[in-house]
Amino acid sequence: MSSTLTAIEITGHITEDNELKLDSALPVLPPQKVRVIVMFPADDDIGEDEWLYAAAKNPAFNVLHDSAEDIYTLEDGMPVDYEMFTSNFSE
């Protein structure tokens, strides 16, 4: 029997008592078991800016600079209703 898992990303910190404290509340969930994956930087981990620079310069993405890949224009989309998006996040 398999079940579908839903993932969320949330930040937190490890306390001096070795407890995980989340920086914000989890979405409303009924009491249930969860799986937790904790990710933390290694001593030799590179920063976000370095990752972005490496991805931007990676030749694996050169195909995206090909004009044949530009198949959409601004006329293909619809205006974004920013008020609708921001109202969902107000407290």
pLDDT, tens digit (0-9, with 9 covering 90-100), for 53-67 = 888 888 888 888 888
pTM above 0.85, yes or no: no
**5 inside domain:** no
Buried b (16+ CB within 10 A) or exposed e, 14-41: eeeeeeeeeeeeeeeeeeeeeeeeeeee
**57 inside domain:** yes
Please report the pLDDT score of residue 47 as a whole number. 79
**16 inside domain:** yes
* Structure tokens, 57: 């310069």
pLDDT digits (tens, 9 = 90+) for 1-19: 567 888 888 889 899 999 9
**6 inside domain:** no
**72 inside domain:** yes
Q: Does residue 50 surpass a pLDDT of 70?
A: yes
**1 inside domain:** no
**Nearest-angstrom CA–CA distance, 40 and 51:** 15
Q: Does residue 71 surpass a pLDDT of 70?
A: yes
**4 inside domain:** no
Which is higher by pLDDT, 17 or 32? 17
Total count of domains within the chain = 1
Domain containing residue 17: 12-87
